[in-house]
Amino acid sequence: MRVALVVVGVIIVLMGAVFAGQGMGYIAGSVMTNDPKWIWIGGAMVVVGLALAVGSFRARPKKA
């Protein structure tokens, strides 16, 4: 379960980075290109993904 949460967190971080890159205009070809709203949404996704990945990695495993 911990590995799955880390993977999901990393995927969220990557998606957030793409959204932020499109919002800043570094990645063209989307409706999100040069729209500052997506910089904030992508940044928030990066923070949430990092918190999920690090939090699940640092969580103690349950004792049987």
**pLDDT tens track, the chain, 64 positions:** 888 999 999 999 999 999 999 999 999 888 999 999 999 999 999 999 999 999 987 877 777 6
Distance from C-alpha of 20 to C-alpha of 35, rounded to nearest angstrom: 9
SS3 23: helix
Sequence ranges of the domains in the chain: 2-57
Q: DSSP for 26-59, please give it.
A: SS-SSTTTT-HHHHHHHHHHHHHHHHHHHHHHHS
Q: What is the pTM of this model?
A: 0.86
32 within 8 A of 22, measured Cβ to Cβ: yes
* Phi/psi at 27 (5° precision): -115, 115
